[in-house]
């Protein structure tokens, strides 16, 4: 059995913090340790105690003085857009047509899809993200590439082929029947295989006909354990276009509601301009609004109203939305989240940020028994954060006097340079641990 004792300042959440002094919402162990065996967490606690239970001779990864947290979770991004980040000068619909619908055509080619999928997974890991929910392209080949790359790394990943049968170039359109058949085949192959979860993915109301929405409804009814993902209320022109295509619907949210797509496994990207009625519908159905701050600023889309979600009891999560999102880093994402909420007169404490990146996003996916917190039996997906990972941060950290301050510095100034190590199911994937493992393999084969 693969055993490892990971030592450092351990931080994990138990509940959503109700304020900066709500110490019952998290567990912080200054000289802490996580004991890992066979890809699972066996025990977390004080180093002295956990190491005694682990016994003599167990391998130790000593990450002091760094922070040891559950791996970060990204609840919405687009793997085929990995190479289209930073495409200049357009808002949503023009950006899609000018850049994205050109880029995604390349994924008809399996070799291209495989190469990008490898790079995509490595970027996630490099940024400390161990689970993500991604859209693939319309091509089944892109889904094969995506889940194969995740499986090779042992990652728990959610994804699916986008279905789109109108308002897109010919090369990116499926038909309602084709979208249904291909999705069905991919679910049968991948959903529940290892750590893979399938997301039924009608891209958004603009690119799906009513017939395709009906097929999506059938897929959701036939596969209730799959996720569902789409986009909602991102941009004013998009809202006008979408609602014009479905004149019977009360509003944009009602388009998805009419096709039975709203449930507690539904993730709706953006949700910026929702009325109280629409947010209440999300609350009733358990559907999750996904806040994508770097994307919303980059495309000039608008400001997410988090307080409205909280007030009406609707669930929400955070995400990068790469490639409209400008960074794979969930730390940079929370930096922008803080600023977006600030512009709306809303507060985001550093403890709430780190809750969202871990347990909060795990709960949004209903995966909190497996990921998002460090507890006995959890998957050993772990990130090690170095709060002095950049020279300006090291200098700033000299005056930091509390954990809250340190977390705020990490989210405001941090990026992949602050991710010292990443464990996926107990296996070191980024830093020194990865280098050591590679050296060990070389010695064994020599």
Does 421 help bind Zn ion (rule: CB under 5 A)?
A: no
Q: Determine the Cα–Cα distance for residues 324 and 341; give it in Å rounded to an integer.
A: 19
What are the two backbone dihedrals, phi and then psi, of residue 209, each rounded to the nearest 5 degrees?
-75, 165
Q: Which is nearer to Zn ion, 295 or 411 (CB)?
A: 295
- Min dist CB 78 to Zn ion, Å, is 6
Query: In the complex, what is the shortest distance from the CB of residue 295 to Zn ion, in angstroms, rounded to a whole number?
Result: 7
Select the span of 115-123, 279-287, 316-324, 339-347 touching Zn ion (CB under 5 A): 316-324
CB 201 to Zn ion: min, Å: 10
Binding mask 190-209 for Zn ion (x = CB under 5 A): --------------------
Q: Does 174 bind Zn ion (CB under 5 A)?
A: no
Q: Which stretch binds Zn ion (CB under 5 A): 6-14, 147-155, 188-196, 318-326?
A: 318-326
- Which residue has 């999560």 as its token pair? 317
For residues 75 and 373, which CB has a smaller minimum distance to Zn ion in the complex?
Answer: 75
> Of the ranges 32-40, 243-251, 315-323, 433-441, which one interacts with Zn ion (CB under 5 A)?
315-323
Piece of the chain touching Zn ion by CB under 5 A; list 164-172, 282-290, 321-329, 431-439: 321-329
Q: Which residues pair with 20 in a beta bridge?
A: none
With CA atoms as reference, report the closest residue to 396 among 408, 381, 383, 384.
Answer: 408
Nearer to Zn ion, 71 or 269 (CB): 269
Compute φ and ψ for 294, nearest 5 degrees. Answer: -70, -35
Is 293 one of the binding residues for Zn ion (CB under 5 A)?
A: no
Part of the chain binding Zn ion (CB under 5 A), chosen from 35-43, 166-174, 254-262, 264-272: 264-272
Choices 5-13, 19-27, 169-177, 265-273 (CB under 5 A): range interacting with Zn ion: 265-273
Q: Which is nearer to Zn ion, 287 or 409 (CB)?
A: 287
Minimum Å gap between C-beta 231 and Zn ion is: 6
Q: In this structure, are residues 432 and 421 in contact, taking their beta carbons and an 8 Å threshold?
A: yes
# residues contacting Zn ion (CB under 5 A): 2
Q: Based on the shown chain and the rule CB under 5 A, indicate whether residue 234 belongs to the binding site for Zn ion.
A: no
Stretch that binds Zn ion, among 30-38, 261-269, 335-343, 398-406 (CB under 5 A): 261-269
Quote the least distance from Cβ 123 to Zn ion, whole Å.
Answer: 16
Is-contact 303 343, C-beta < 8 A?
Answer: yes
- Closer CB to Zn ion, residue 257 or residue 322? 322
Cβ proximity to Zn ion, 323 vs 433, nearer residue: 323
Handedness of CA 401, 407, 412, 416 (dihedral sign): positive
- The one among 74, 321, 386, 421 contacting Zn ion by CB under 5 A: 321
- The nearest distance, CB 230 to Zn ion, in angstroms, is 9
In angstroms, what is the minimal distance from the CB of 441 to Zn ion?
Answer: 38
Nearer to Zn ion, 81 or 349 (CB): 81
Rank residues 321 and 336 by Cβ distance to Zn ion and give the closer one: 321
To Zn ion, the closest distance from the beta carbon of 109 in angstroms equals 22
Q: Are 66 and 420 in contact (CB under 8 A)?
A: yes
For Zn ion, which is the closer residue by CB, 180 or 298?
298
Piece of 92-100, 176-184, 317-325, 338-346 that binds Zn ion (CB under 5 A): 317-325
Closest to Zn ion by CB, 321 or 379: 321
| Min CB(363)–Zn ion separation in Å | 21
Q: Per this entry, what is the length of the chain?
A: 446
Where b means 16+ CB within 10 Å and e means fewer, 405-418 reads ebbbbbbbbbbbbb
Q: How far is residue 382 from each of residues 71, 385, 427, measured CA to CA in Å?
A: 4, 10, 9
Provide, rounded to whole angstroms, the least separation between the CB of residue 88 and Zn ion.
18
Tokens encoding 171: 């090369």
Residue from 269, 325, 389, 433 touching Zn ion (CB under 5 A): that is 269
In the complex, what is the shortest distance from the CB of residue 332 to Zn ion, in angstroms, rounded to a whole number?
A: 17
Q: Which residues bind Zn ion (CB under 5 A)?
A: 269, 321
């Amino acid at each position: 059995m693969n055993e490892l004792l990971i030592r450092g300042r351990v931080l994990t959440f138990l509940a959503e913090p109700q304020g900066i002094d709500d110490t019952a919402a998290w567990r912080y162990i200054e000289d802490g340790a996580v004991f890992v065996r066979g890809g699972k967490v066996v025990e977390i606690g004080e180093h002295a105690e956990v190491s005694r239970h682990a016994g003599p001779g167990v391998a130790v990864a000593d990450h002091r003085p760094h922070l040891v947290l559950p791996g970060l979770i990204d609840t919405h991004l687009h793997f085929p857009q990995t190479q289209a980040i930073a495409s200049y000068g357009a808002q949503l619909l023009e950006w899609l047509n000018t850049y994205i619908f050109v880029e995604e055509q390349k994924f008809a080619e399996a070799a291209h899809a495989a190469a990008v999928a490898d790079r995509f997974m490595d970027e996630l890991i490099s940024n400390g993200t161990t689970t993500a929910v991604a859209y693939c392209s319309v091509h089944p080949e892109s889904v094969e590439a995506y889940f194969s790359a995740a499986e090779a790394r042992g990652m728990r990943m959610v994804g699916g082929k986008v279905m789109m049968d109108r308002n897109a170039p010919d090369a990116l359109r499926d038909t309602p029947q084709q979208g249904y058949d291909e999705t069905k085949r991919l679910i049968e192959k991948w959903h529940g295989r290892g750590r893979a979860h399938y997301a039924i993915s009608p891209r958004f109301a603009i690119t799906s006909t009513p017939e395709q929405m009906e097929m999506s409804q059938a897929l959701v009814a036939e596969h209730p354990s799959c996720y569902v993902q789409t986009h909602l209320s991102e941009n004013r022109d998009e809202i006008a276009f979408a609602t014009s295509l479905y004149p019977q619907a009360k509003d944009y949210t009602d388009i998805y509601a009419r096709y039975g797509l709203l449930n507690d496994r539904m993730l709706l990207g953006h949700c910026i301009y929702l009325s109280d009625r629409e947010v209440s519908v999300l609350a009733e159905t358990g559907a999750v609004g996904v806040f994508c701050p770097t994307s919303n600023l980059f495309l000039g889309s608008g400001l997410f109203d988090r307080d409205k979600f909280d007030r009406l009891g609707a669930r929400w999560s955070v995400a990068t939305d790469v490639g409209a999102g400008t960074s794979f880093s969930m730390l940079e994402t929370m930096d922008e989240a803080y600023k977006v909420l600030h512009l709306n007169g809303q507060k985001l404490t550093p403890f709430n940020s780190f809750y969202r990146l871990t347990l909060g996003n795990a709960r949004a996916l209903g995966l909190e028994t497996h990921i998002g917190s460090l507890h006995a039996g959890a998957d050993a997906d772990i990130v090690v954060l170095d709060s002095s990972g950049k020279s300006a941060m090291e200098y700033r950290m000299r005056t930091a006097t509390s954990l809250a301050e340190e977390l705020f510095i990490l989210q405001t100034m941090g990026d992949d340079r602050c991710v010292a190590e990443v464990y996926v199911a107990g296996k070191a994937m980024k830093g020194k641990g990865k280098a050591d493992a590679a050296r060990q393999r070389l010695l064994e084969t020599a």
